Amino acid sequence: MTATTERRTVLAVRDLKKHFPIKDGALQRVVGHVRAVDGVSFDLHRGETLGLVGESGCGKTTLGRVLAGLEPATSGGVYFDLSEAQRIQLDQSLKALDGADLAGLDAGHRVDRLSGHDWRRFRRNTQMVFQDSFSSLNPRHLVSDIVGRPLQVHKEASGSALTERVVDLLEQVGLGRQHLYRYPHQFSGGQRQRISIARALALDPELVILDEPTSALDVSVQAQILNLLHELQQSRGFTFLFITHDLAVVRHMADRIAVMYLGRIVEAGSTSELFARPIHPYTDALLRANPDLTENDEGFHGLEGTVPDPARPPQGCRFHTRCVYATPDCGWEIDDVVLQLEETPALFDKLEGVERRSPFDADLQFDDGASSAGLATALKGDHVPESMKSAIEQVAVNDRTVSIRFREVDEVQLTERGSDRQAACVLDALPDRSTQRR
Amino acid sequence: MTTAPIEAPKTTAPVVASVRDLRVHFKTKAGIVQAVDGVDFDVRDGETLGLVGETGCGKSVTARSFLRLVPMPPGIAVSGSIMFRPRMRCSSCDGAGCSICGNTGRVVSICPACSGAGCDTCEQTGAETVDLLTVPERELRAIRGNRIAMIFQDPGKALNPALTIGKQVAEVFYAHRSDELLTSAGIDPASESLQNYVLRRRASQESRTPENLVLSLPPLRTRRNAISAAADAMVAAALNETQIPNPRAVMDRYPHELSGGMKQRVMIAQALACDPDLLIADEPTTALDVTVQARIIELINELQERHKTAVVYISHDLSLVRKVADRTAVMYAGRIVEVGESDQIFHDPEHPYTRGLIDAIPGASHERGRLAAIEGTVPELIDPEPSCRFSGRCAYAEQVCRSEDPQLEPIDHRQVACFIHHPPDHGVAPTFARTEQ
């Protein structure tokens, strides 16, 4: 019985987290964690292309590296090669917190528990193409060594048979026998990326993780590589995880898209749906900022502010600090007050300390009573977004101390929005653009 | 090579800079690389000219030639001319904008050789004209950062990591605005006293150790501090203009403490600090995320609108240039292959290379795996034979394309260098019809 007719899940990712410690001081004590990937779940089915989009620092590359087994995950699970029945079983036992059931699946499929034969099977079936072909190809090795190395490691071929296999691979990516005994520096950027692809294909893997494969290339060469990748997928049935920041490229390549922001997936869905009807304001902002996607006469728009510190991600929805449609339920918190304060140096210089009872409730200590009263009035001013004002439950000025309490909000979770479509937003649909704040 | 003035339906604004037959060659072990090989274009007053091309087409070298920033060696020869017409503040409205200066607040400087009558040095225009390639270094220093400013691709590398933002932006004012600094510090710049001499040296950052010692003593200390305070105020104003929140706090920070978008804003503030006539932006947003890129572009457009600065916008991203530029020049392998109004070029490209570039952008209409890639790679520019540089990758190329140089010649409001539009005297002319067979 072959598995060709059945839908197989190449990777099932469940609540995956990857935190990097921040060390400080003479003893290098851990003072915090950068939450590069912070609770990501998705399925990747055999033969499809999933596009993973986001700006720099959103954790998409880290996620790719964890999935390829290059970095251990902090928590959560990556399950490799599940049948449909196994996938359903996995979700049920995760929901029921059934340890016994999970243990069975973990042994043969959970990537960080694999060993011996299973681990080798996973590694040979998961290959990666990196963004920078300068640093991912060893400058001291010949092309024949680079492309042939996976075949040697897995004892697939040796001697002249190995050379023939390498020539065969090079021809598949549009290079030839004449390129066998050259060094990477003798090739152009596009050709080097072809070598990377040939190396990734050497073991005929199930899954290829493409981490920004065309970002360093010119558009005419990018088109060559994208065509090549599509051809190879057609002829050999690969599953692609396509990581990129370029929405025009993923629209062209991906069947489904997941949009990441600050370590979490904020929206996922089929490519056509997501482009036609974005739900999350961040997706909308990305679409509107891309000159390839906006029409000629339509102006394109950027986003205010900067990406928040991933060591202290905002409460509620992580995007609320920059969102033009933010509502009182989006997780306004004390940090937003501090952010506003930083823009008014006269008050910020007088700030002595912040005593937090929770992210939503704190006392702000000032040097003098005038400043604390100043903050209380500033919070009612035009500078503060309406939605933030409405989220404030209490402001109490007591001499030099201001107590502020915001409405408490839970982290906004990814929810189902129709078939195979998820979004993490408190709103049901993207509001009309005329209702933007600012 | 002479070029007819580019006709355009939209604008007849006078030219700020005209590049004629610019050639920049580099010496390498393999031979002489002709990185820029006969480039002609004009930058008109107040417009944005987009310079588009792929890696290695010579667009950055062209930009750097404006300020003579091409390193010699490995550069061995720069020939041709870049004629620049500096402007000055309009005397009748003092920069506020009036009918005489056409609301720009600036007028063309008068040619010193003929007092505006028209002579050979100013090409009969009566406007002061400087050839940036031959002007003495000392005069060029007065133009750099003052009349012509540049924004570089990677703000992380272009800013000095060892100086605070406040200190490095202030350098522009010390170099070009020392008189204004003295005036706002309450010192008469024209006074000839010894004290003023020392202060003047200080305000143009020329003071040496003994002078600094004198300046740190009580009689001059307060006035020295007044100069620094005046510089700080000018820096804060410049940073404020690029919408940097809380500029006074940013001035005390070092570049590594700022985000990429913020660093690029500092670069823009520094570039526009002296209200230049020409701003050269070399891939200013390539290192930034799309959402930040859109903000920076909005900012550049806004400031350009206010200052009426001409901008040469260099990028490899065609879609972006379409949004930004009034006119676009497409470069390939050291030459310009097509110049014209941006809308016209993007809607109806005439050169096969421009067509190829536009078709290679993944769009909604493209079927997956059917992108129109341009086959092959950019040719090496070492001692090239006379030929159309694109002939090796062109789907329409004929024999004549491989043996003769097509020239940039006008066709309806634009210029194209291709034998399809300007058939050669002999041989078979290429046509667009060929690949359809």
Q: What is the CATH number of the domain that holds A248?
A: 3.40.50.300
Q: Find the closest chain A residue to B355 by CA distance.
A: A220
Inter-residue contact B141 to B148 (CB < 8 Å) = no
Q: Which domain holds residue A360?
A: 332-406
| Surface of A (361-390) touching B: CB under 8 A | none
Q: Which residue of B has its CA nearest to A58?
A: B289
Helix (H) or strand (E) holding B48: strand B48-52
- CB atoms B371 and A286 under 8 Å: no
Same domain, A433 and A296: yes
**Residues A292 and A370 grouped into a single domain:** no
pLDDT digits (tens, 9 = 90+) for B3-53: 444 333 333 457 888 899 999 998 888 888 888 988 999 998 888 999 998
Q: How confident is the model at residue A205 (pLDDT cuts 50, 70, 90)?
A: very high
Which pLDDT does position B421 carry in this prediction?
A: 81
Find chain A residues with C-beta within 8 A of B357's C-beta: 219-220
A392, containing H or E segment: strand A392-398
Based on the domain organization, do A265 and A373 belong to the same domain? no
Residue A366 belongs to domain with CATH number:
3.30.1360
- Does the CB of A99 have a partner CB in chain B at under 8 Å? no
| Cβ-based contacts of A345 with chain B (< 8 Å) | 246, 248-249
**Predicted confidence (pLDDT) per residue in B169-222, tens digit:** 999 998 888 888 888 888 887 777 888 888 888 888 888 888 888 888 887 888
Average pLDDT over residues B361-374: 79
Task: Answer yes or no: is pLDDT of A260 > 60.
Answer: yes
As a whole number of angstroms, the distance between CA A381 and CA A343 comes to 14
Evaluate the omega torsion of the peptide bond into residue A205 and state whether it is cis, within 30 degrees of 0: no
Interchain proximity A345–B364, CB inside 8 Å: no
Contact (CB, 8 A) for B274 and B89: no
**Residue B220: inside a domain:** yes
Do both A243 and A94 map to the same domain? yes
| Chain A environment of B369 (Cβ under 8 Å) | 226-227, 230-231, 234
Neighbours of A187 (CB within 10 A): 19
Domain presence at residue B222: yes
pLDDT at A237 over 70: yes
* Mutation target vs A (from B154, B244, B291; most A CBs, 10 A cutoff): B291
Question: Which residues lie across from B339 on neighbouring strands?
Answer: B329, B415
Do both A369 and A220 map to the same domain? no
CB B8, CB B415: distance < 8 Å = no
Identify the three-state secondary structure at position B77.
strand
Average pLDDT, chain A: 87
Question: Are residue A114 and residue A254 in the same domain, yes or no?
Answer: yes
Share of chain B above pLDDT 90, in %: 18
How many domains in chain B? 1
Instruction: Measure the N-to-C terminal CA separation of chain A; round to a whole number of Å.
Output: 60
Contact criterion met (CB < 8 Å) for A303 and B291: yes
* Residue B434, pLDDT above cutoff 60: no
Is B61 a member of any domain? no
The partner residue sitting opposite B259, judged by closest CB among A188, A218, A306, is A306
**What ipTM was predicted for this assembly?**
0.82
Which amino acid, one-letter code, is at A241? L
Contact B362 A252 (CB under 8 A): yes
| A55/B290 Cβ within 8 A | yes
Q: Do B372 and A223 touch (CB under 8 A)?
A: yes
Q: With an 8 Å Cβ cutoff, is B332 touching chain A?
A: no
Instruction: Give the best residue of A252, A304, A342 to mutate against chain B (max B CB count within 10 A).
Output: A252
Does residue A187 form part of some domain? no
Q: Are B377 and A304 inside 8 Å of each other by CB? A: no
User: Contact, A265 vs A42, CB < 8 A?
Assistant: yes
Q: Tell me whether B361 touches chain A (CB under 8 Å).
A: yes
Range of the domain at B216: 163-251
Query: Which pair of tokens denotes residue A76?
Result: 């959560």
List B residues 38-67 in contact with A (Cβ-Cβ < 8 A): 54-55
Pair A354, A366: CB distance under 8 Å: no
pLDDT category at A1 given cuts 50, 70, 90 is very low
Percent of chain A having pLDDT more than 90?
Answer: 36
Sheet holding A401-406, edge to edge: A351-358, A361-366, A401-406, A392-398
Is B312:B43 a contact under the CB 8 Å cutoff? yes
Q: Are residues A106 and A246 in the same domain?
A: yes
Spatial contact of B434 and B395, defined as CB atoms under 8 Å apart: yes
Q: Please indicate whether, in this complex, the C-beta atoms of B292 and A253 are within 8 angstroms of each other.
A: no
In angstroms, the Cα distances linking B51 to A293, B130, B168, B281, B411 are: 21, 22, 29, 10, 19
Residue A2 neighbours by CB distance under 10 Å:
5
Instruction: Give a yes or no: residue B44 inside a domain.
Output: no
Distance of CA B264 to the CA centre of its chain: 16
B287 CB neighbours in chain A (<8 A) are none
**A149 assigned to some structural domain:** no
How far is the C-alpha of A173 from the C-alpha of A168, rounded, in Å?
Answer: 9
Q: Which positions 46-75 of A are in contact with B (Cβ < 8 Å)?
A: 55-56
User: What is the C-alpha to C-alpha distance for residues A191 and A185, in angstroms, rounded to an integer?
Assistant: 10
How far is C-alpha A209 from the chain's CA centre?
A: 13
- Nearest residue of chain A to residue B370 (CA atoms): A227
The predicted structure's pLDDT at residue A127: 93
Residue A2 has pLDDT above 50, yes or no: no
User: Are A219 and A360 in a shared domain?
Assistant: no
Instruction: Look at A234 and B323 and tell me if their CB atoms are within 8 Å.
Output: no
CB contact under 8 A, A302 and B249: no
Residue A219 and residue B318: Cβ atoms within 8 Å? yes
Confidence of residue B436 (pLDDT cuts 50, 70, 90): very low
pTM: 0.85
Confidence class for position B62, pLDDT limits 50, 70, 90:
very high
What integer is the mean pLDDT of A81-90?
Answer: 87
* Residues B390, B69 contacting (CB under 8 angstroms): no
pLDDT at B163 over 90: yes
* CA dist., res. A89 & res. A84, Å (int): 9
B106-134 pLDDT, tens digit each:
777 777 777 767 677 766 677 778 888 88
pLDDT tens readout for residues B331-352:
998 899 999 998 888 888 889 9
Interchain CB distance below 8 Å, A226 and B362: yes
Confidence of residue A164 (pLDDT cuts 50, 70, 90): very high
| B112 vs A63, more confident | A63
**Nearest C-alpha in B relative to A285:** B291
Q: How does A108-135 read in b/e, with b if 16+ C-beta sit within 10 Å?
A: ebbbeebeeebeeebbbbbbbbbbebee
Confidence of residue A182 (pLDDT cuts 50, 70, 90): very high
Stretch A176-204: mean pLDDT: 91
Range of lowest pLDDT (A227-241, A290-304, B417-431): A290-304
Q: What is the pLDDT of residue A438?
A: 43
Of B292, B369, B377, the CB nearest to A188: B377
**Do A245 and A99 share a structural domain?**
yes
B367 touches chain A (CB under 8 A): no
Residue A273 near chain B (CB below 8 Å)? no
Q: d(Cα B326, Cα B42) in Å, to the nearest integer?
A: 13
Nearest to A82 by CA among A116, A107, A99, A51: A107
Structure confidence at residue B437 (pLDDT): 38
CA gap B174, B171 in Å, rounded: 5
Query: Do A41 and A78 share a domain, yes or no?
Result: yes
| Cβ-contact A165, A246 below 8 angstroms | no
Interface touch A285/B297, C-beta < 8 Å:
no
Work out how many domains chain A is built from and give that number: 2
pLDDT at A330 over 50: yes
Q: Is A190 part of a structural domain of the chain?
A: no
Residue B143 · residue B276 · CB < 8 Å: no
For residue A220, give the nearest of B54, B262, B319 by CB distance: B54
Q: How far apart are CA B132 and CA B130, in angstroms?
A: 6
Q: Are residues A216 and A304 in the same domain?
A: yes
Regarding predicted confidence, which is higher, B89 or A366? A366
Within a 10 A sphere around the Cβ of B96, how many other Cβ atoms?
A: 11
Mean pLDDT of chain B: 83
Spatial contact of B410 and B7, defined as CB atoms under 8 Å apart: yes
> Is B116 inside any structural domain?
no
The structure tokens listed for B213 are 């010692």
Residues 222-281 of B with CB under 8 A from A: 245-246, 248-249, 259, 261-262
Question: What's the CA gap between B283 and B295, in Å, rounded?
Answer: 15
Q: Is there a contact between A230 and B368 if contact means CB atoms under 8 Å apart?
A: yes
Cβ contacts of A223 on chain B, cutoff 8 Å:
360, 362, 371-374
Closest residue of chain B to A230, computed from CA coordinates: B369
pLDDT tens track for A266-279: 999 999 999 988 99
Mean pLDDT for the stretch of residues B372-386? 79
Q: Which residue has the tokens 């986001």?
A: A54
What gap in Å lies between CA A151 and CA A144, rounded to an integer? 11
Are residues A379 and A420 part of one domain?
no
Structure confidence by residue, pLDDT tens digits, A313-326: 898 899 998 888 88
In a domain, A156, yes or no: no
Contact (CB<8Å) A291/B298:
no
Q: By C-alpha distance, which of A436, A422, A426 is closest to A43? A: A422
For A181, phi then psi, to 5°, come to -105, 50
| CB-based contact B375 A224, cutoff 8 Å | yes
Q: Which of A168-172, A180-184, A186-190 has the lowest mean pLDDT?
A: A186-190
